[in-house]
């Protein structure tokens, strides 16, 4: 999932990377983002 990749980049390569996340279950919508021109949730 995209959220796992973002966390890996933040932890291992770029601690300044910022993004929102909350439930990790696709319910709250906090991690919504545009990926390759499509609106999606990073956690699913």
Identify the CATH assignment for 2-41 out of 3.20.20.70, 3.10.20.90, 3.10.129.10, 3.10.20.30.
3.10.20.30
- Which residues lie across from 35 on neighbouring strands? 38
Can you tell me the distance from the alpha carbon of 38 to that of 19, in angstroms, rounded to the nearest whole number?
17
Tell me the average pLDDT across 32-37: 95
Mean pLDDT of the chain: 95
| 9-26 pLDDT, tens digit each | 999 999 999 999 999 999
Can you tell me the distance from the alpha carbon of 40 to that of 27, in angstroms, rounded to the nearest whole number?
12
Domain segments of the chain as ranges: 2-41
**C-alpha radius of gyration, the chain, whole number:** 10
CB 31 within 8 A of CB 41: yes
């Amino acid at each position: 999932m995209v959220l796992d990749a973002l966390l890996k980049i933040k932890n291992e390569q770029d601690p300044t990377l910022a993004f929102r996340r909350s439930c990790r279950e696709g319910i709250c919508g906090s991690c919504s983002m545009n990926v390759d021109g499509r609106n999606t949730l990073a956690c699913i």
